[in-house]
Each structure stands twice: as C-alpha cells, then as structure tokens.
Amino acid sequence: MDYAIVDYRISEEEKCNLKKLGCEVLVCPPSKLLYDAICGHPDVLLHIIDNENLMVHKDMNVKFVKLLKKLGFNVSFSENNLNSLYPYDIILNAVNLSNLFIHNIKYTDSELLKKVSNKKLINVKQGYTKCSTAIVSEKAIMTSDKNIAKTLFKENIDVLLLPPGDILLPGLDYGFIGGCCGLLDYKLLAFYGDLNYYTYGKKVLEFLKKHSIEPVFLRKEKLIDRGSLFIARSNL
C-alpha cells in the first residue's frame, strides 16, 4: 500500500486527487517547536530512509507513531529535538537517493547519519536541502540552489536549475520547488498546484518530458510549498 504523507494544511481537493491516484493519505501532525510556515512540513518532521523505514523527530505525536507502526512501518527517532532556530530545524531535511545522501552534513541528525552510512555522503551548504530539491529520478533533480546544482552535476546527476520565487509559502516570501511536489512512483511526479500557473513551468515540463516523467497537478492553482510530498510503501 502506498501512503502519501502530507502537511496538515493540505486542501480537500489535493487530498481527493491523491486518493484517486491510489494513495492513502496520512496527515503529518505539526510540531509546536517550529514556526508556523513549516510546522507541518513532512520534510522537516520526518525522513524516509527507504520504503518501510522512517525516521521521525524525537517529539513526534505518539498516536501518529503508533499508526505508522500499525501500518507496517519501522519507525526510529532522531537523536536531537527540533527547534525553530536554524540549524536545529533542518536535522532531517536531507535528500536521500539510492546511493547518495545529500545534506549540510554538519547539521544532519547523528541517528540519521547512522542509517545512511552505506551511502556516499555529499555535503552542501544549503541546510534546507530537501525543501530546495525536487527528485525527478535517481539521475535527475530540480533545484533553485546553485551550490546543490553544482555539487550534484559533479555526481553525474542531470540538474534543472530554476530561478527562486513564484512558489507560495504562506508566512514567508516564497517557497521551494522541492517542497511543492513528490514522486508517486518512478514515472509520476505530483505537484501541489499546476505548472501552467508557474513562471518557469515550461522549463519544468520540458525537463520532465526529457526524463519520461509525467506531471500530475493536485490543484488548478499556483504552486504551493507544503513540504515535500512523501510516499511511503508498506507490505501490509
């Protein structure tokens, strides 16, 4: 079963469209330790290590943890607490590919680093690494961060570097491309919003076509950063 882990502020339209795509929707409980703009963002509150293994921040809602376990997931906890002050809010906000782990390693939670010790660790300056990075495939990403783009290009990753801006994030000036989408499977990339309302949508559509990825628009409005849309798969 595929579970879409989403921000609690997801709209009913987005939720219904995810269900139509075969996903069970799991609403991630917000953290009072974070500021409002990102307090419910899954890419800040947890990390998908692999299909059935998840790491949540150590103060995660107990009922939500019990639900994850009931659904068949192995749940581990961060060593550190989240905090609204940077860099204590980025401890789990890393990009995790099959062979690469990309983050500002200095601030990665120590327990998460143990879980990915078999991968090549790639250090970048951007602490909000996952927020800033949309995974298109194991060999392709989109980002507005020049350092991430330059670093991953050296790892033979195809990178679409986008200008910042034109993505909604209530409470802040703008959001990030990684926070407004997520892969549903190897060929479908779902967006919180519609690329036809995005200034750089044509570039994104061309890049997705290049990599044989089909975009899915969960609402017919501007892109909004709700934290990365995570898909977790259970065998139960």
Count CB atoms within 10 A of the CB of residue 104. 18
Half-sphere exposure of 85 (CA within 13 A, CB side): 0
Could you give the number of structural domains in the chain?
A: 1
Q: What is residue 78's predicted lDDT score, i.e. its pLDDT?
A: 98
pTM of the model: 0.97
Residue 64, φ and ψ in degrees, nearest 5: -70, -40
| Pair of tokens at residue 155 | 């790892």
Enumerate the β-bridge partners of residue 25.
Answer: 4
Helix, strand, or coil here: 12? Answer: helix
> Could you give the CA distance from residue 144 to residue 178 in angstroms, rounded to a whole number?
9
Q: What is residue 22's predicted lDDT score, i.e. its pLDDT?
A: 95
Mean pLDDT of 111-129: 97
> Could you give the CA distance from residue 111 to residue 7 in angstroms, rounded to a whole number?
24
Q: What's the longest Cα–Cα distance across the chain?
A: 43
The residue with tokens 């060999």 is 139
Q: What is residue 9's predicted lDDT score, i.e. its pLDDT?
A: 97
Worst-scoring range by mean pLDDT, 49-53, 76-80, 159-163?
Answer: 49-53
CATH number of the domain residue 76 falls in: 3.75.10.10
Q: What is residue 11's predicted lDDT score, i.e. its pLDDT?
A: 97
Count CB atoms within 10 A of the CB of residue 63. 9
Percent of the chain with pLDDT over 90: 97
Q: What is residue 129's predicted lDDT score, i.e. its pLDDT?
A: 98
Mean pLDDT of 48-57: 94
Residue 234 has pLDDT above 90, yes or no: no
Range of the domain at 18: 2-233
> Could you give the CA distance from residue 225 to residue 177 in angstroms, rounded to a whole number?
7
Q: What is residue 235's predicted lDDT score, i.e. its pLDDT?
A: 79
Q: What is residue 48's predicted lDDT score, i.e. its pLDDT?
A: 97
Q: How high does pLDDT run on average in the chain?
A: 97
Q: What is residue 189's predicted lDDT score, i.e. its pLDDT?
A: 98
Mean pLDDT of 203-215: 98
Angle at Cα 12 formed by Cα 6 and Cα 13, nearest 5°?
100
The residue with tokens 């581990």 is 76
Q: What is residue 202's predicted lDDT score, i.e. its pLDDT?
A: 98
pLDDT band at residue 59, thresholds of 50, 70 and 90? very high
